[in-house]
Amino acid sequence: MTLLQALFLGTLQGLTEFLPVSSSGHLAIAQHFLPGFEQPGVLFDIMLHVGTMIAVILYFWTDIRMLAQSPFRRSGDSGVHRKILLLLVVGSIPTAIIGLTFKDFFQDLFDNLTVVSSMLLVTGTLLFISERFRRGTRKESQLTIADALVAGTAQAMAIIPGISRSGSTIASLLIKGVDGETAARFSFLLALPAVFGAAILSLGDIRHVATDQMPLYLAGTAAAFVAGYFSIRFLLAIIRRRRLYTFAIYCWLAGAFFLNYSL
């Protein structure tokens, strides 16, 4: 892997992690077509996700700080924040169970362009359905354990390359009647435990990375952070304007094109 490839993949990860078009699917497709590219291993992909999650922490720093302080406060909105913190824990349970159980199976799918393309079609359909039947106005204070479990299960299924994590979690919450911006914020926060858990599990892989490759890993992570920060702002604006149809059409076109190519 070259520096240019690392920067390209990091930027691609940052843009597509939050835009509902599947970062894992785009990374799998890009790595398939990059000339002379050698798969650096799962650790590289995990580090790119860490870069985007640092962007989430900075963008939602006030929210995260309030969530962290809520167990020790008894005034203001601390009750709502404690509830959201509990729901994030609940939502992380199905993600952890499904992710750990089927981790190896899902990883093997990254080289299957047919599967990746087909799942992009599924992502597009989820986005279309959620926007078509979007009627809810429920805010954070009205989220339920059922909402958290549905979002957590959707996030777990997004381990399949081509299924968008943000797209599936946001779509599932929209279908359940949650306000668009609330759904997006909960989706971003729900990703933090999953990504950092995966990062901790992958720490042992660092010893397999050649010394001269580590700067490339860090460059890719930095690129993912910068691109991710700006894509968060962009997606929130898109959701406010009810324009998820645009991403549904994109996923359908991209999925159909690469599915036709793979066959």
Residue 13 has pLDDT above 90, yes or no: no
pTM of the full structure = 0.84
Residue 161: closest CA among 258, 245, 38: 258
pLDDT of residue 126: 92
Q: Which two three-digit tokens encode residue 63?
A: 């929210």
What is the structure's pLDDT at 137? 83
* Residue with the two structure tokens 């279309």: 128
Tokens of 138: 């429920």
51-88 pLDDT per residue, tens:
888 898 999 899 899 888 888 887 777 888 899 999 99
Position 25 scores a pLDDT of 83
Q: Which of 19-33, 170-184, 187-201 is predicted most confidently?
A: 170-184
- Between residues 232 and 206, which one has the greater pLDDT? 232
